[in-house]
Amino acid sequence: MYEISQFSDKNSTRKKKIIHGLGLLGKACSRKSYMDWDYWGKPVPGYGDPNSNLLILGLAPAAHGGNRTGRVFTGDKSADFLFKCLHAAGMANQADSTSRDDGLTLDGFMSVAVKCVPPGDKPTAQERNNCAKHLASEIECLPNLKIVLGLGKIGFESFLHFTRKSHDIKMKDYPFKHGVGYNLPNGIALYGAYHPSPRNVNTKTITFDMMVKFLKKLKNEI
């Protein structure tokens, strides 16, 4: 496991470059229940172990999750479900993700395709394109990367778009499906999984048992 708050000097420099390179600003109105919070309200970079073989790639910061706390998949319903699953699969040291200083450690690096909160959680193509260079900067800081897990279609396809910059691939050859993986020409294995959104969880599109089973399988391949 890797302590999220403890980067080496070299990795801290890399992370600072990523953060300072984000030229966007994301703000959302505070909920009444979070009126005492000083919202992060800025682009949210990835976090975790930059030397890991695994990248977990989501959609965007939640308005009152990552946008509030300054860490992706932190302090919202999607994070609650995801980290219960990651903990059960032995990939996180605790079952919740509530703040940047909560002591969470993660076997992997986690980020999002869009760095700021998109209206209605539906980023436009232009917003995705604007953030692509920042995502690329993060990916290029992961020297041991072997496996990418795309949470939801947008997260999944964002890595395909990254791969297309250096390899001639067709998007249609890699359809998004839960639990299905592809070996890409850059040597990375890309897997898809349903996004742990409240809608998907409430409709049982994704269940705890389903996700934990898949994560355990993925862990064995890292």
Task: Give the whole-angstrom CA distance, residue 28 versus residue 10.
Answer: 33
> Is residue 24 in a domain?
yes
> Is residue 1 in a domain?
no
> Is residue 4 in a domain?
no
> Rounded to the nearest 5°, which phi and psi values hold at 150?
-90, 115
Model confidence, pTM? 0.81
Quote the mean pLDDT of the chain: 84
Between 126 and 16, the more confident residue is 126
Asked whether 17 and 137 are in contact (CB, 8 A), the reply is yes
Q: What is the reported pLDDT for 109? A: 96
> Is residue 45 in a domain?
yes
Q: How confident is the model at residue 36 (pLDDT cuts 50, 70, 90)?
A: low
pLDDT of residue 5 exceeding 60: no
pLDDT of residue 8 exceeding 50: no
Q: Which domain covers residue 164, as residue numbers?
A: 9-219
Average pLDDT over residues 201-211: 97
Amino acid letter, 29: C
Percentage of the chain modeled with pLDDT above 70: 82
What's the domain count of the chain? 1
Amino acid letter, 122: K
Task: Give the whole-angstrom CA distance, residue 138 versus residue 75.
Answer: 22
> Is residue 110 in a domain?
yes
Helix 77-88 with 208-219: angle, nearest 10 deg:
50
Q: What is the reported pLDDT for 25? A: 37
Q: How many CB atoms lie within 10 A of CB 123?
A: 23
Task: Give the whole-angstrom CA distance, residue 192 versus residue 53.
Answer: 16
Pairing assessment for the beta strands 54-58 and 147-151 based on DSSP bridges? parallel
> Is residue 198 in a domain?
yes
Q: What is the reported pLDDT for 64? A: 77
Asked whether 39 and 137 are in contact (CB, 8 A), the reply is no
Between 66 and 202, the more confident residue is 202
E runs forming strands in the chain? 47-48, 54-58, 109-112, 147-151, 181-183, 189-193
Assign residue 178 the CATH number of its domain: 3.40.470.10
> Is residue 72 in a domain?
yes
pLDDT digits (tens, 9 = 90+) for 51-92: 999 999 998 887 777 888 989 999 999 999 999 999 999 999
End-to-end CA distance of the chain: 13
Distance of CA 103 to the CA centre of its chain: 18
The CA-atom distances, in angstroms, between 121 and each of 28, 87, 186 are 12, 26, 30
Pairing assessment for the beta strands 47-48 and 54-58 based on DSSP bridges? unpaired
pLDDT of residue 107 exceeding 70: yes
> Is residue 71 in a domain?
yes
Distance of CA 202 to the CA centre of its chain: 21
Amino acid letter, 13: T
